[in-house]
Amino acid sequence: MQKPQTPAETTRRILAAVFISALAVIGLNACTVKARTIEPGTIPKIDALAPGEAEYGKMLFDDLCDDYPLEPDPERMEGLVTIFDNLVEAAEADHLPWHLYLFDNPDIIDIRAVHGNYVFVWSGFLEAAQNDDEIAALMACEIAHVLARHTYPAEFTLWTDIFFDVAEIATSLAIMTATHGMVAINGQGWMKWAYVELADLDALDREYSTLEEREAVMIARLLMERANYSPEAMRTFWQRVEQDEDLNKKANRLIRDLSAEERTRIIDEFLPQTPTETEVSIPSDIQTSQRDFNAVRHRTQ
């Protein structure tokens, strides 16, 4: 007759299962499909969206609408739309459908581009930017992430998928044994979902690698120059965030996992060290509301 397990034995078995899961997650970092490297001095091209891409962005938009109201005044949209349109044309991507929305929350400084050519802006970002060039700087970086395919969902190799399946079964059996069947994990894909969440690879919390951030800055500079905006605004914006403690805290979501200082150093790699002084004056109330502004004119045929 099998002796009942002591609490210590049960704990050890559960810890062993957790350890197996942790090893699986850590090992997968090198097993995801790597994105292509962008050639210096080039702007990547996207011929057309793949089936299902727009639906993915629309799903995220619907989820965000549950938490944030859209800017209700249509007259506040034109400034942002004009800047965005200029950058998209500079990228020669105006044949694609783009979906631009502004959420009305002055306490949030953030802008996110996601899979499906959806771009979400929170009104706090527009209030933090001092001129058109700074607005263009941050929007150009998000457009650059889209063009470089950094926003695509994480892809895993065939061997990684098999590894996930085996690790899920092993962990589930270990937990079930340790708890005498009181705890059971059913279903497939839960470990892969956990990895995506823990590694910040989901769309709205995406943490880009340093290489991806460098590629985005390189592409953004080219876009801004083509669209007649000053690339120096990328540096001035992040320097202000770096020096202003209150602004730094408020821009926490926008900063993501790279500090303002780190972002400034990356930008310095691609900009002249002697900044060109420019003075740009725009109305202080330039904002926008949700607008699928390319839905008709730039719809892919």
For range 6-16, the mean pLDDT: 54
Q: Which two tokens stand for residue 278?
A: 């420019």
Sort residue 152 into left (φ over 0), alpha (ψ -120 to 50) or beta. beta
Using a 10 angstrom Cβ sphere, with 0-12 exposed, 13-18 middle and 19 or more buried, the burial of residue 241 is buried
Distance CA 91, CA 103 (A): 25
Q: Which residues contact 190 (CB under 8 A, 6 or more apart)?
A: 168
Q: What is the pLDDT of residue 192?
A: 44
Sort residue 149 into left (φ over 0), alpha (ψ -120 to 50) or beta. left
Taking only the tens place, the pLDDT of each residue in 97-133 is 999 999 999 999 999 999 889 999 999 999 999 999 9
**Is-contact 148 209, C-beta < 8 A?**
no
DSSP annotation of 51: T
For the entire predicted model, the pTM comes to 0.69
At residue 274 the predicted structure's pLDDT band, cuts being 50, 70 and 90, is: low
Taking only the tens place, the pLDDT of each residue in 27-61 is 544 444 445 677 888 999 988 888 888 888 898 89
What is the overall mean pLDDT for the chain?
76
Residue 46, CA distances (Å) to 38, 43, 80 in order: 13, 10, 23
pLDDT(26) > 70 = no
Taking only the tens place, the pLDDT of each residue in 230-268 is 999 999 999 999 999 999 999 988 988 889 999 999 999
Distance CA 105, CA 288 (A): 12
**Is-contact 20 171, C-beta < 8 A?**
yes
Provide the residue count of the chain.
301
**What are the percentages of helix, strand and coil residues in the chain, rounded to 5?**
50, 5, 45
Q: Which domains does the chain have, with CATH numbers?
A: 7-30+155-198 (no CATH), 53-151+208-270 (3.30.2010.10)
Q: What is the pLDDT of residue 217?
A: 96
Report helix, strand or coil for 113: strand
Pairing state between β 111-114 and 99-103: unpaired
Residue 112, CA distances (Å) to 75, 129, 209 in order: 22, 16, 16
Higher pLDDT, 110 or 203: 110
Report helix, strand or coil for 135: helix
CB atoms under 10 Å from CB of 257, counted, come to: 13
